[in-house]
């Protein structure tokens, strides 16, 4: 008896245990998710100044003039959402459904309910389910909540059509859903049977077209003549003719338009033929049926989440490079986004599609930091094939060349330096080409690869350019160039006019290392000895020069080439080859440029000063002034870290903002106010 009782207790315990475990399963993100993001609210919320953000958010969410209703919510810091908690975002797509989902925690259910009521459509009731409530705030946006958890889901559905890029239609991965809404929309989309071709009917259509064209040809010719006259008048006077006071035509009167804006009028009810009305009803029916399907998808997703333990289960490979100290973490499956998107479908038509599938079969992770004085973004790139990733990493492990670093100086606008392994580049290409043949062409692809290895002498090619180079932009200089414009006399006769304008031209130097100086000397000598090329190329001392004869409308006066001490130079001025003194900061840049596989910097403030003449209008000038005052500097470096290629981008801010997050809001707010101030009432 005791034995039976003991067994019964064990079985009961196991049954309850399994039931409890099943009920407490985490919510797994979709297997076809191509994007995942975590927002570290605990850190990010401390950096937000809601006193500044609220007015900014209120300004950009104002309703248009047609809707006189004012926004009922004016405090976005008190939406009921717990901003200092972690938020989870992910996006997934397949051949017919694209979804974007956000999970967040609530700290005030009443405030959240008020916020939802302020953004949902008037009169729309909130739907109640077994363990949650939800409402659609738009046709494709749904929000659900229960307790202290809430989910926002944006869903787009398109009925699968025959794939234009493939010979056969792609099977719909969600078409198997047994749902009455799907059946309904299928019936709406069903096409009528095609009628047999009637040539007599087709002839009548063509005759009607001819009649229509004949009836309208006179009107069309008159309209064309009027427009041509307007074009000539505008080209000469840069405005339309002034309107006479006794005329009722306001088409050309800008002053009248500005002084007398058209009164707002309610849009008249649509009036059309029976065919138009029938078409509109059909479109409304399609929209309704599409909404039913999207709603069903949202409900299914909400059911799964609120029946779980409300925890998000994320695959470990997505979190491999997540830094818990970052403000925002993002993972992207680049291979899925490209290969399963429109581009991937297009490429599948070609025999080399597998090469692109393999080349793009990678993912990237990003950690974003809003520090006090800078924004830092760290990206880890990783190919999904381990062997291919090794080949890519080997390219980034090149030799260092310190001769190039002497070209960096304090006054330069920016530079970009590379130190990669040219020989390993060929190995990487062979790795990408391996096993990418299409079925019967695999043998041909393998043979082609072997032939390439035999014909190409990778080491000899790499000696020409081993993989060390640098580009330095020193400054932007003004230059007056000629161009051709067109003017008109009093009779609107066109004539060419030679004019001049001032443009900014870059003063730069590009240099790269070589182990075969003789090769480049032969190339440059060919430029000055060839009859055709010699018209534009010449030699001055140790430099070869390029200049277009008789032209003063280019962005370069001359370009100079030379090879010296194992370095090939291309520059706009020979003075750029003279070593410049380097301060401590430029010495640091020089050290980094030789240390990292890829590195660079850009002083955007100096760049904008050089581009000042490109900003013409008053609003553009005001925007330029704001940018010049606040814009910062970009710094870039890339190297191999473990099993990935890591790239760090730093944006150093210049002003005295609270932190780099609020810096961006302050900058956007200033630019937004300038644009709003320049807007004029639009006349319908």
* 425: pLDDT strictly greater than 90: no
Share of the chain above pLDDT 90, in %: 32
Which of 38-42, 224-228, 241-245 has the weakest average pLDDT? 241-245
Distance CA 615, CA 609 (A): 11
Q: Is 430 helix (H, G, I), strand (E, B) or coil?
A: helix
Under a CB-based contact definition with an 8 Å cutoff, are residues 595 and 405 in contact?
Answer: no
Residue 576 — φ and ψ, nearest 5°?
-65, -20
Burial of 404 (C-beta count, 10 Å sphere; 0-12/13-18/19+): buried
Q: How confident is the model at residue 473 (pLDDT cuts 50, 70, 90)?
A: very high
Distance CA 439, CA 354 (A): 10
For residues 114-127, give the mean pLDDT: 85
What are the b/e assignments for 253-275, b being 16+ CB within 10 Å?
beeebeeeeeeeeeeeeeeeeee
Residue 100, pLDDT score: 94
Residue 197, pLDDT score: 63
Residue 277, pLDDT score: 76
* 660: pLDDT strictly greater than 60: yes
Q: How confident is the model at residue 162 (pLDDT cuts 50, 70, 90)?
A: low
> Per 3-state DSSP, what percentage of the chain is helix, strand, and coil (rounded to 5)?
40, 25, 35
Pick the more confident residue, 670 or 304.
304
For residues 170-189, give the mean pLDDT: 42
Residue 2, pLDDT score: 42
* 15: pLDDT strictly greater than 80: no
Averaged pLDDT score across all residues of the chain: 78
Of 84, 131, 80, 134, the residue nearest 110 (C-alpha): 80
For residues 256-269, give the mean pLDDT: 40
Q: How confident is the model at residue 257 (pLDDT cuts 50, 70, 90)?
A: very low
CA dist 453 to 447, 449, 458, Å? 10, 6, 8
- Token reading at 387: 């062997």
Distance CA 443, CA 456 (A): 20
* 253: pLDDT strictly greater than 50: no
- Residue-wise DSSP of 269-280: PP---HHHHHHH
Under a CB-based contact definition with an 8 Å cutoff, are residues 128 and 135 in contact?
Answer: no
- Token reading at 144: 């659900």
Residue 355, pLDDT score: 72
Under a CB-based contact definition with an 8 Å cutoff, are residues 94 and 130 in contact?
Answer: no
DSSP category for residue 17 = H
Pick the more confident residue, 331 or 73.
331
Residue 234, pLDDT score: 73
* 176: pLDDT strictly greater than 60: no
- Per-range mean pLDDT, top range of 38-47, 62-71, 398-407, 527-536: 38-47
* 192: pLDDT strictly greater than 70: no
Residue 22, pLDDT score: 37
* 555: pLDDT strictly greater than 70: no
* 347: pLDDT strictly greater than 60: yes
pTM: 0.76
For residue 537, what is the enclosing H or E element?
strand 537-540
Residue 16, pLDDT score: 38
Q: How confident is the model at residue 243 (pLDDT cuts 50, 70, 90)?
A: low
- Token reading at 35: 């994007």
Q: What is the torsional sign of CA 290, 291, 292, 297?
A: positive
* 177: pLDDT strictly greater than 80: no
Question: What is the chain's length?
Answer: 684
Residue 166, pLDDT score: 52
- pLDDT tens-digit series, residues 275-284: 677 777 777 7
For residues 504-515, give the mean pLDDT: 93
- Token reading at 115: 């916020």
Residue 460, pLDDT score: 86
Distance CA 100, CA 106 (A): 20
Dihedral of the alpha carbons of 21, 27, 30, 33, in degrees to the nearest 10: -130
Which of 95-104, 288-297, 329-338, 489-498 has the weakest average pLDDT? 489-498
Radius of gyration over every alpha carbon of the chain, rounded to an integer in angstroms:
33
Q: How confident is the model at residue 164 (pLDDT cuts 50, 70, 90)?
A: low
What are the b/e assignments for 214-227, b being 16+ CB within 10 Å?
eeeeeeeeeeeeee
| Spatial CB neighbours of 241, under 8 Å, sequence gap ≥ 6 | 233, 252
* 383: pLDDT strictly greater than 60: yes
Residue 436, pLDDT score: 65
For residues 6-15, give the mean pLDDT: 39
Residue 69, pLDDT score: 53
- Residue-wise DSSP of 22-65: HHT--EEPPTTEEEEEEE-HHHHGGG--HHHHHHHHHHHTPPPT
Of 577, 562, 502, 483, the residue nearest 528 (C-alpha): 562
For residues 370-384, give the mean pLDDT: 94
- pLDDT tens-digit series, residues 562-618: 999 999 999 999 999 987 888 888 888 888 888 899 999 999 988 888 777 777 777
Helix 442-455 and helix 422-433, axial crossing angle in degrees, nearest 10: 170
DSSP E strand boundaries for 411-451: 414-419
Residue 370, pLDDT score: 94
Any idea which residue has 């009548």 for tokens? 204
* 336: pLDDT strictly greater than 80: yes
Any idea which residue has 């989870």 for tokens? 88
């Amino acid at each position: 008896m005791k034995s039976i009782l003991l067994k019964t207790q064990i079985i009961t315990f196991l049954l309850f245990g399994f039931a409890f475990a099943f009920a407490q399963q985490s919510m797994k993100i979709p297997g076809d998710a191509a994007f995942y993001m975590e927002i570290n609210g605990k850190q990010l919320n401390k950096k937000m100044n809601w006193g500044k953000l609220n007015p900014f958010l209120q300004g950009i969410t104002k309703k248009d003039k047609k809707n006189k209703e004012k926004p009922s919510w004016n405090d976005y810091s008190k939406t009921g959402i717990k901003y200092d908690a972690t938020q989870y975002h992910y996006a997934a797509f397949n051949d017919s459904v694209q979804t974007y989902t956000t999970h967040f925690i609530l700290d005030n259910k009443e405030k959240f309910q008020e916020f939802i009521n302020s953004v949902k459509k008037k009169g729309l009731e909130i739907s109640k389910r077994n363990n949650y409530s939800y409402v659609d705030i738009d046709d494709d946006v749904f929000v659900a909540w229960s307790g202290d958890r809430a989910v926002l889901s944006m869903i787009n559905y398109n009925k699968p059509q025959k794939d234009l890029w493939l010979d056969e239609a792609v099977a719909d991965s969600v078409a198997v859903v047994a749902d009455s809404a799907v059946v309904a929309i299928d019936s709406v989309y069903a096409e009528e049977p095609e009628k047999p071709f009637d040539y007599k009917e087709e002839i009548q259509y063509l005759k009607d077209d001819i009649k229509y064209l004949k009836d309208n040809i006179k009107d069309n010719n008159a309209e064309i003549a009027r427009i041509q006259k307007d074009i000539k008048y505008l080209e000469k006077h840069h405005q339309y003719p002034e309107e006479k006071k006794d005329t009722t035509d306001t088409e050309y009167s800008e002053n009248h338009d500005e002084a007398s804006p058209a009164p707002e009028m309610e849009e008249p009810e649509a009036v059309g033929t029976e065919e138009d009305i029938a078409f509109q009803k059909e479109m409304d029916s399609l929209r309704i049926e599409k909404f039913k399907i999207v709603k069903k998808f949202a409900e299914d997703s909400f059911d799964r989440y609120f029946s779980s333990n409300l925890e998000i289960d994320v695959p470990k490979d997505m979190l491999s490079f997540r830094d818990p100290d970052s403000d925002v973490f993002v993972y992207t499956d680049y291979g899925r986004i490209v290969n399963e998107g429109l581009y991937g479908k297009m490429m599948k038509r070609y025999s080399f599609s597998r090469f692109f599938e393999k080349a793009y079969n990678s993912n990237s992770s990003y950690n974003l930091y809003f520090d006090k004085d800078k924004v830092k973004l760290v990206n880890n790139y990783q190919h999904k094939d381990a062997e291919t990733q090794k080949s890519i990493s080997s390219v980034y492990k090149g030799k260092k060349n310190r001769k190039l670093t002497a070209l960096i100086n304090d006054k330069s606008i920016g530079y970009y330096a590379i130190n990669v392994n040219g020989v390993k580049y060929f190995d990487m290409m062979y790795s990408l080409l391996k096993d990418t043949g299409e079925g019967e062409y695999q043998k041909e692809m393998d043979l082609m690869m072997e032939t390439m290895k035999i014909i190409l002498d990778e080491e000899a090619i790499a000696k020409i350019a081993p993989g060390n180079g640098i580009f330095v932009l020193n400054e932007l200089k003004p230059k007056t160039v000629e161009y051709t414009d067109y003017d008109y006399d009093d009779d609107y006769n066109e004539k060419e006019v030679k004019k001049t304008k001032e443009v900014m031209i870059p003063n730069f130097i590009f240099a790269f290392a070589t182990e075969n100086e003789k090769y480049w000397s032969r190339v440059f000598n060919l430029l000055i000895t060839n009859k055709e090329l010699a018209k534009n190329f010449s030699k001055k001392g140790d430099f070869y020069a390029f200049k277009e004869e008789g032209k003063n409308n280019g962005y370069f006066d001359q370009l100079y080439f030379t090879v010296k001490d194992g370095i090939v130079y291309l520059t706009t001025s020979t003075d750029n080859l003279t070593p410049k003194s380097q301060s401590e900061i430029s010495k640091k840049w020089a050290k980094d440029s030789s240390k990292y596989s890829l590195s660079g910097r850009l002083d955007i403030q100096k760049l904008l000063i050089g581009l000042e003449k490109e900003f013409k209008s008053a609003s553009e000038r005001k925007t330029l002034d704001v940018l010049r005052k606040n814009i910062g500097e970009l710094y870039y470096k890339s190297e191999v870290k473990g099993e990935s290629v890591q790239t760090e981008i730093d944006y150093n801010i210049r002003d005295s903002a609270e932190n780099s997050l609020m810096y961006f809001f302050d900058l956007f707010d200033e630019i937004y106010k300038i644009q709003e101030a320049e807007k004029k009432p639009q006349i319908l």
